[in-house]
Amino acid sequence: MKLLIAVLIVFLFSAAADSCSDFMFPDNKVFTSCTNLSALNSFLYWSQNPSSTTLDMAYRHSHVPPSTWVAWGINPKQTRWWVTQSDHCISEARWKLAVYTSSVDSYATQLQKGNLSFPVSDLSALFSNDEIIIFATIQLPNNSSTISHVWQDGPITGNHLGIHDLSGHHLQSMGTLNLSSGQAFTSHGSDSKTKLKISHGVLNTISWGIMMPIGLLVARYLKAAGPAADPLWFYLHIVVQLSAYIIGLAGGATGFLLLSKSSGIHQPCHLGIGIVLFSLGLLQ
């Protein structure tokens, strides 16, 4: 994936236009197509030259808070961030932006400078009102007219570019774009990792959050009903608790599968809580 990042450390105030077609670029720069992206107050503009397979593009990210990096990227293979090559633009002074390229190989990337696998030229970025705009000319990978792309923003602490938020719109900022028709599609709903996260959450909620407490309530209150409920309360308790534990095992399996697919991302507290729950469930 190829990625363009602009970073700006200034105080930003004004609002931007809400439609890509309403925006006027400085120096009357014009693009043949544009689209409103589905998340993070972002817009994409482009002009394609079929004869040379190049793409003149501009990525516009509005409502940018202070101390924030901004990124847009193309992934030739898949619609996610991991395994990426990128172009970055970082502010070196209050009003100055500097552009560089970087290869992103894992979620633990520090966005270091590096070379890309296909040509990118005319890199520049500007700050206007409360938004950052990145310009570039890209040699399209594999002469493709459809691209998988992502866009993102994250915090800056000193000279360090921090990891972006892992919730909400920050997990929805990816999709595919048909450069010929201008049709844009979000793809987060079909991402296998997103489906695994949903499955992991649902299974564990049903197991540890619903069925386990019900099993305990069955044992406590039916047993108190006296000999009339004996041994019904015991069998119900066993059935509910055992079912909950089996569902919890499935939820744990999806969690470990997610962990194996998430290089560079670690949640030791979350993992520890899961191990404790499994241990307590097994003991009872």
| Interval 87-99: pLDDT, tens | 545 444 344 566 7
Same domain, 222 and 171: no
Same domain, 49 and 123: yes
| Mean pLDDT for all residues in the chain | 74
- Consult the annotation and say whether 200 binds a ligand: yes
Same domain, 180 and 212: no
- Consult the annotation and say whether 63 binds a ligand: no
Question: How many structural domains does the chain have?
Answer: 2
Cα–Cα distances (Å) from 154 to 64, 68, 97, 181, 229, in that order, read: 10, 6, 17, 31, 58
Q: Can you tell me the distance from the alpha carbon of 155 to that of 213, in angstroms, rounded to the nearest whole number?
A: 40
Instruction: Assess whether pLDDT exceeds 80 at residue 201.
Output: yes
Residue 198's pLDDT band, with cuts at 50, 70 and 90, is confident
CATH number at residue 33: 2.60.40
Host domain of residue 239: 192-283
Same domain, 95 and 219: no
- Consult the annotation and say whether 160 binds a ligand: no
Q: Which of 190, 210, 232 is the last residue of a domain?
A: 190
Instruction: Assess whether pLDDT exceeds 70 at residue 264.
Output: no
Of 162, 249, 149, the closest CA to residue 204 belongs to 249
